[in-house]
Amino acid sequence: MFKRVIPTALMLATGSMCAQAADSASRGFLEDSKATLSMRTLYFNSDNRDGAAAPSKTEEAAQGFVLRYESGFTQGTVGFGIDAQALLGVTLDSGNGRHVGSGMIPSDGDGAADAWSSFGPTAKMRVANTEFRYGTLMPKLPILLSNDARVLPQSFTGAQITSNDIDGLMLTSGVLEHAVGRASTDRTGLSVPGGTRDSNKFYFAGGDYYITKQLKAQYYFAQLEDFYNQNFFGLTHVLPIDSKSSLTTDLRYFNTTSNGANSSAAGRAQGYRTSGYTDDNNGEIDNNTWVAMITYANGGHTVSVGHQEVGDGSNFVQPNQGNLVDKGAGGGSVYLPTDKMIQNFARAGEQTDFGQYSYDFAPLGVPGLKASIVYLKGSDIKAHSSGDQSEWERDMTLDYALQSGSLKGLGFSVRNAKSHTDAGRNVDQNRFIINYTLSLL
């Protein structure tokens, strides 16, 4: 089925671009070039409050550098360009017995590596408002999110085409073959939580369509070969109430079923399986997940409430390389509003209620200062060895960014989270983060 989805999406994406090619404007390859150096310092402390597994505490600090170059496009009907990023991580503090579970620093023998790095180029081509990219990619799509929750971001390699030639419609499709984890220097194949085998084919296609300026509809299809097929439907509506307030409704639905080797007992026995609860404890992926969230914003105040339900056939899955040989490859995001600092509340059968309050202090004369608190409660988690389980998490964040001066944009973040779960270990977690991006071109 999916072999027909990619060509169809490509035809839709390119259907009008030739007629609009003459409107494509570019000052030139060098003239539109830009380069930035992003620096992030992160202190990570995660304290496991119970359980016999050692160590009971992870405590590390690291410094990340991300040098990015983005060229413009050559002039003409078809424009060509190239992007590149160089990543360097440096361990500031770690040690035996404290280096585990952070997903921030790769291992080197019994402890943390002193430094790690990677480099990724991307070739690109543009016709009108359609772009084709091949090389290093960092998708931000409902079916795949590049994770940037530590000092260095996760990246993928493959090809992607994105078209904005049709007014109000954004189309994208592509195929990814490898990933570089946020704590790794190596490229790996693609897998799911619990999978010990990988795949080199992640196909995807879909788009966002603005039915009106306030109403956006989304559909995406993804296939991680030998693991799963996933359909996503999304609907977002923004209702302006007055000049200072609005009400946003966000609806998401995922249908995920087994594909290829994961569909057979023989394939799952080879490592093409998922972890967590599954029917008959067989590791086969079979899940429906939906979430509804409403957000009310008024001045500096933002309040969100929502409910999420995960089907009981298996856990909700999206790519995560955590069980592959390269342990630093792990650490993935999922497109759920419940994906928080410690838990993502995506276990089989889990029903989660959540609420969040955020405040932007700009109306009080302190622009750049923001605070938030979120609480989530999950119940009815399926387990073979016991009755249904439950869990909860509370996260608090405080962010501040300088608004002027030579260090404008320098940001500080303090984050604290507490998680209690019947399905694992209770955790208290603290992070302190400093971010700064310097424009070089």
Instruction: Give which of 208, 227, 131, 117 is closest to 174, Cα–Cα.
Output: 131
Q: What is the mean pLDDT of residues 81-93?
A: 97
Which residue is associated with the tokens 């790794």? 184
Q: Beta strands 115-127 and 111-112: pairing type?
A: unpaired
Q: How confident is the model at residue 10 (pLDDT cuts 50, 70, 90)?
A: very low
Domain CATH code at residue 172: 2.40.160.10
Measuring CA to CA, how many Å separate 60 from each of 115, 117, 325? Answer: 13, 18, 22
Q: Beta strands 78-93 and 57-70: pairing type?
A: antiparallel
What pLDDT does 207 receive? 98
Phi first, then psi: give them for residue 269, nearest 5 degrees. -65, -25
Please report, for the chain, how many H helices and E strands are present, in that order.
Answer: 3, 23
User: 293: part of which helix (H) or strand (E)?
Assistant: strand 286-298
User: 6: part of which helix (H) or strand (E)?
Assistant: helix 2-14
Q: Which domain holds residue 239?
A: 2-439
Q: How confident is the model at residue 426 (pLDDT cuts 50, 70, 90)?
A: very high
Whether the per-residue pLDDT at 16 is higher than 60: the answer is: no
Q: Which residues touch 252 (CB under 8 Å, ≥6 apart)? A: 142, 232, 233, 234, 290, 291, 335, 336
Whether the per-residue pLDDT at 13 is higher than 50: the answer is: no
Q: What is the mean pLDDT of residues 412-422?
A: 97
Structural domains in the chain (count) = 1
Is-contact 272 227, C-beta < 8 A?
yes
Q: 163 is written with which tokens?
A: 């078209």
Whether the per-residue pLDDT at 66 is higher than 90: the answer is: yes
Peptide bond before residue 139 is cis, with ω within 30 degrees of 0: no
What pLDDT does 22 receive? 39
Is-contact 270 251, C-beta < 8 A?
no
Whether the per-residue pLDDT at 21 is higher than 90: the answer is: no
Q: Which residues touch 406 (CB under 8 Å, ≥6 apart)? A: none
Which residue is associated with the tokens 């009310």? 296
pLDDT in tens, 261-297: 999 999 999 999 999 999 889 999 999 999 999 999 9
Rounded Cα distance, 318 and 239, in Å: 31
Rounded Cα distance, 205 and 215, in Å: 21
Q: State what percent of residues in the chain have pLDDT above 70.
A: 92
Q: What is the mean pLDDT of residues 3-10?
A: 46
Bridge partners, 206 (sequence order): 172, 220
Residue type, 70: E
pTM summary value: 0.91
pLDDT in tens, 39-51: 999 999 998 866 6
Rounded Cα distance, 140 and 130, in Å: 17
Whether the per-residue pLDDT at 20 is higher than 70: the answer is: no
Residue type, 211: I
Rounded Cα distance, 191 and 273, in Å: 9
Between 325 and 433, the more confident residue is: 433
Instruction: Give which of 75, 80, 170, 95 is closest to 133, Cα–Cα.
Output: 80
What pLDDT does 56 receive? 75
Distance of CA 227 to the CA centre of its chain: 19
Instruction: Give which of 161, 225, 143 is closest to 189, Cα–Cα.
Output: 225
